[in-house]
Structure 1
Amino acid sequence: MARAFSAGRKGITGHLEPAERDLLRKLFADIITMLEPSTAASEDPLAALIGLDMDVRVPTDPALLRLLPDAVRDDADSALEFRQLTERSLREGKIGALRAASLGLETDKIVLDNEGATLWAKALNDVRLVLAERLDIRDEEDAERVHEVQDWGEADDVESYLSLVYNFVSWLQESLVQAMLVSLQRAK
């Protein structure tokens, strides 16, 4: 069974069982697949080098839109222009954090320095955003509904299973953030 992250002299440490590590590895891989842009043969190499993506569109998948929301509301042209200038680097940053976190799943004991903890927090947050969208969590009442499912033996449908996964990832992220706060307080 997973043990919460904690701050110590060697950094932030946590423990995950093999099945938990496999679950996270699959979740991280799924989000990476969602975030990987389609490759265009006619892509301008200079535009790619500086991070421009003139062919970018607003995602049609609501979960992907939650990961890559419009930065400007009520002005579609400005939102698209901002997306063209920033989405490529945002995707690359998210993919990098997910890959780094996935690499940390090779052993039961996870030991993170400050940078690694930040990457893990970002990766777990992205997983939670996608799961929240799939579970249609919009407000506190929806979150309570999801938290009602507590036993893996009760997961007899997709929503129940996703609820348990969401609860596990939420708990893991919360313990990581708490450990990061303790680490910051000790550094003062």
Structure 2
Amino acid sequence: MAHRKAPFKHSRAGVQVNLDDQEREILVHLLGQLDELLDDGRPAGEVDPLEALVGMRGTTDETPPATPDDPALARLLPDGNRDDPEASAEYRRLTEYGLRSRKRSGARTAAGALNRPAPVVLSSEEALSLMKALTDVRLVLGERLELKTDEDAESLHQRLWAGDEAESWMATASIYEVLTAWQEHLVVAVSKKL
């Protein structure tokens, strides 16, 4: 039986991507969904140039952005202080735009790199962008799967093998498991590169 190559491997040129075309396509699709989830609907032309430069939004807005209603988005854009709503609102006002922008930019950088024709070799910047974006995708999927504790995450594999869950849960959980394995390989490859 032939052994499959690690999905990501350190090389002299960078981090070699050993995912097949379909796997890369799925990952690019997930990164696109992450980018869409982080879109606040505010047209780029409405962003004050100074705010964009320093990564802050709301310095001129009277009302800070609210905590997202979507629990998965709230995981990506957490409150700064759960015990003090006023401090949390100020934190969100000063940081949310920059955080959204950085996360979206990282997802786009990773997707662009993965869309190149094979063989794909990631630069250090692209590999770090992919690593961060994979974390964000896994946070979203984990929230959708209601993984709240380490025990929930550990029982995921057992629940998958039992096969007693709804088909949509099984599909999401399978993707979560695969992304977890890929991210572990990517971390190893990046750590060898640094």
TM over 0.5: yes
Contact 2:47 2:57 in 1 (8 A): no
Contact 2:6 2:185 in 1 (8 A): no
For 2:139, the equivalent position in structure 1 comes to 129
Q: Which runs of 5+ in 2 are unaligned?
A: none
| Structure 1: distance between partners of 2:191 and 2:51 | 37
| Structure 2: distance between partners of 1:36 and 1:62 | 15
| Structure 2: distance between partners of 1:176 and 1:34 | 24
Residue correspondences, number: 183
Which residues of 2 match residues 24-173 of structure 1 at below 5 A?
24-39=27-42, 45=48, 48-49=51-52, 51-53=56-58, 54=61, 55=63, 56-106=65-115, 107-148=117-158, 149=160, 157-173=167-183
Contact 2:31 2:137 in 1 (8 A): yes
- Give TM-score, length-normalised by structure 1: 0.86
Closer/same/farther in 2, CA of residues 47 and 14 from structure 1, 3 Å limit: closer
User: What are the Cα deviations for residues 93-145 of structure 1, in whole angstroms up to 9, with x where unaligned?
Assistant: 00000001111122343311211111111111110000000001112221123
The reply to whether residue 20 of structure 1 matches residue 23 of structure 2 is yes
Give the aligned residue type for 1:90. L
Give percent identity, aligned residues only: 35
Q: Give RMSD over aligned pairs.
A: 2.6
| Structure 2: distance between partners of 1:58 and 1:131 | 19
Q: Pick from 171, 175, 181 the counterpart of residue 191 of structure 2.
A: 181
Give the aligned residue type for 2:37. M
- Give TM-score, length-normalised by structure 2: 0.84
| Structure 1: distance between partners of 2:94 and 2:100 | 12
Runs of 4+ in 1 over 3 A off after TM superposition: 43-50, 153-156
For 1:4, the equivalent position in structure 2 comes to 7
| Structure 2: distance between partners of 1:80 and 1:139 | 26
Q: Which runs of 5+ in 1 are unaligned?
A: none
